[in-house]
């Protein structure tokens, strides 16, 4: 599934795409995968367009990843800390839910 993001976008399955890109375990797997990494993950978020809350949430996560890329390229295990530092001040319920799920993930 790590490389098949384009299939979800092309088939217009925003809900599945949203669930995937807000799944912390998926983010960890992609960032730490030797064939993908943080840049490939950031590019996955470029594929979605629109002006609804889900798209806005994805763009906020993408921006946090973009700001953290230089650190995550060296140490993908810093993902949790980087997302928390860069997003904990955001008040959107979707972001707070994402961070809560990330904190409870087994892949910290």
- DSSP code per residue over 77-101: GGHHHHHHHHHTT---HHHHHHHHH
Phi, psi of 99 (to 5 degrees): -65, -40
Running along the chain, 108 residues long, what does each successive block of 10 average in pLDDT?
Answer: 52 79 95 95 89 91 98 96 96 95 79
Domain that holds residue 14: 5-103
- Given this model, what pLDDT does residue 9 score? 53
pTM reported for the whole predicted model: 0.86
- Given this model, what pLDDT does residue 10 score? 54
- Token duo for residue 38: 């943080």
Q: State how far the Cα of 94 lies from the Cα of 30, in Å rounded to an integer.
A: 21
- Given this model, what pLDDT does residue 107 score? 61
Within a domain: 108: no
Within a domain: 12: yes
Q: Per the structure, how many domains does the chain have?
A: 1
Within a domain: 33: yes
């Amino acid at each position: 599934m790590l490389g098949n993001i384009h299939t979800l976008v092309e088939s217009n399955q925003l809900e599945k795409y949203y669930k995937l890109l807000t799944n912390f375990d998926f983010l960890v797997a992609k960032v730490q995968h030797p064939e993908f990494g943080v840049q490939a993950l950031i590019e996955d978020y470029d594929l979605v367009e629109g002006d609804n809350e889900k798209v806005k949430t994805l763009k906020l996560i993408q921006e946090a990843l973009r700001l953290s890329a230089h650190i995550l390229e060296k140490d993908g295990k810093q993902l949790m800390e980087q997302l928390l530092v860069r997003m904990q001040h955001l008040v959107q319920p979707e972001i707070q839910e994402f961070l809560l799920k990330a904190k409870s993930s087994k892949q910290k």
